[in-house]
């Protein structure tokens, strides 16, 4: 993990320099892609990174609708949605996304009943997410709202105990010191671009997908930017693979050459590498509760993720595996964080 991170980036740059034809502006049919909702299950755990600390577990189940054209039938709901910023550009596919998820955070020394006050606190975040998506073959805009709860009522402690039973590991002992219950809300915006794509044969291709966004809320407030490169056979026509985060991946096809809806090619194999950097103003999992005294640490204001992995598509199913590294998040942190991510999705 620690030595292989640049490999995918270097491969992509070498291949792009070798020639090929640009594909970003090529027009292809979109009818089947428009009518293909996608269900995705995410699972992330630091067990894959050989650790048990910091961001230790994340699960998310998301559903992205097929194209809703003009946000559906006339009425007050359509009027409200059409008044939203960022997601009402003309001549775009329109989608709604629903998700439920949970993130779990622990200090490094999970065997202590009374955690080290200089280490990050125990915390859990269970949430629902509603998103509005507007996209073309080249640009995707997303506006999302996350609402949930931090603290004991997130049931993160129970979830972690179950996971540790699965992997036959000792359960952390300091959950009595976790952050207190607090309702949380995040408003998230993000734009992605499919700026550069090339084909080097009938099946082999490369693309580059940068992104920029922001989150505002009592749980997390930040501005972020980054990008993803992919190299492989029969690349999916979507906006790439992401770790669990607000905004994040929308893996629904955007045109009919995507292997999940294509009549000619129903398989894909690809490798990828990406980065995401955040300027952080608020992180409840480090800053502590907003309106009550709680455990806290002094956070870093700039945090980055670097990740790489591979993806496989067979028919309407897609499986991806990612290894990720996260830079230091707070003062006194003992080393970077490493974790793995698995996604399984199906287009309908």
Instruction: Report pLDDT digits (tens) over 68-117.
Output: 876 666 677 677 777 887 788 888 888 999 999 999 999 999 999 999 99
**pLDDT at residue number 28:** 64
Residue 2 pLDDT > 80, yes or no?
Answer: no
CA–CA dist 234, 273 (Å, integer): 17
Number of neighbours of residue 52 by Cβ within 10 angstroms: 19
Parallel/antiparallel/unpaired status of strands 139-150 and 123-135 = antiparallel
**pLDDT at residue number 14:** 37
Residues forming beta bridges with residue 211, ordered by sequence position: 192, 226
Give Cβ neighbours of residue 107 (< 8 Å, ≥ 6 apart): 53, 54, 115, 116, 119, 120, 121, 122, 174
Sign of CA dihedral 217, 218, 222, 227: negative
Binning pLDDT at 50, 70 and 90, where does residue 30 land? Answer: confident
Residue 6 pLDDT > 70, yes or no?
Answer: no
Binning pLDDT at 50, 70 and 90, where does residue 297 land? Answer: very high
Percent of the chain with pLDDT over 90: 67
**86-to-91, 160, 211 alpha-carbon distances in Å:** 14, 37, 14
Q: Are 210 and 277 in contact (CB under 8 A)?
A: no
**pLDDT at residue number 166:** 84
| 82 closest CA partner among 40, 143, 150 | 143
CA–CA dist 197, 254 (Å, integer): 14
**pLDDT at residue number 25:** 52
Q: What is the mean pLDDT of residues 182-203?
A: 92
Mean pLDDT, all residues of the chain: 88
Cα dihedral value 213, 216, 218, 220, nearest 10? 10
Percent of the chain with pLDDT over 70: 89
Residue 20 pLDDT > 90, yes or no?
Answer: no
- The CATH architecture that domain 7-347 belongs to is Beta Barrel (2.40)
Give burial (CB, 10 Å; 0-12/13-18/19+) of 70: exposed
Radius of gyration of the chain (CA): 20
Give Cβ neighbours of residue 189 (< 8 Å, ≥ 6 apart): 85, 86, 141, 142, 143, 144, 213, 214, 247
**pLDDT at residue number 201:** 86
User: Quick one: tokens of 212?
Assistant: 């920029």
Parallel/antiparallel/unpaired status of strands 204-217 and 182-193 = antiparallel
User: Quick one: tokens of 130?
Assistant: 């509603």
């Amino acid at each position: 993990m620690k030595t292989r991170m640049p490999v995918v980036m270097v491969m992509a740059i070498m291949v792009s320099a070798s020639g090929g034809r640009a594909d970003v502006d090529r027009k292809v049919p979109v009818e089947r892609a428009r009518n293909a909702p996608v269900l995705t299950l995410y699972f992330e755990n630091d067990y894959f990174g050989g650790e048990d600390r910091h961001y230790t577990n994340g699960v998310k189940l998301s559903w992205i609708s097929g194209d809703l054209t003009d946000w559906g039938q006339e009425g007050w709901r359509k009027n409200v949605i059409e008044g939203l910023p960022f997601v009402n550009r003309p001549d775009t596919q329109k989608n709604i996304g629903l998700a439920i998820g949970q993130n779990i955070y622990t200090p490094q020394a999970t065997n202590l009943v009374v955690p080290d006050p200089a280490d990050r606190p125990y915390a859990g975040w269970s949430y629902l997410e509603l998103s509005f998506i507007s996209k073309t073959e080249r640009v995707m805009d997303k506006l999302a709202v996350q609402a949930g709860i931090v603290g004991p009522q997130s049931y993160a402690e129970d979830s972690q105990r179950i996971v540790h039973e699965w992997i036959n590991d000792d359960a952390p002992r300091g959950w009595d010191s976790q952050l207190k219950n607090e309702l949380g809300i995040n408003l998230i915006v993000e734009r992605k671009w499919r700026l550069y794509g090339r084909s080097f044969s009938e099946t082999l291709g490369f693309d580059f997908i940068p992104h920029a966004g922001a989150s505002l809320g009592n749980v997390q407030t930040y501005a972020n930017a980054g990008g993803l490169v992919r190299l492989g056979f029969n690349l999916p026509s979507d906006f790439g693979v992401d770790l669990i985060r607000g905004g994040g991946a929308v893996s629904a096809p955007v045109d009919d050459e995507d292997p999940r809806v294509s009549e000619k090619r129903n398989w894909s194999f690809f490798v990828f590498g990406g980065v995401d950097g955040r300027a952080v103003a608020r992180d409840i999992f480090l800053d502590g509760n907003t309106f009550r005294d709680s455990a806290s640490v002094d956070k870093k204001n700039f945090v980055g993720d670097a990740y790489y992995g591979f993806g496989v598509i067979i028919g309407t199913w897609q499986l991806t595996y990612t290894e990720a590294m996260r830079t230091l998040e707070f003062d006194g942190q003992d080393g970077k964080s490493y974790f793995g991510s698995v996604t399984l999705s199906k287009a309908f």
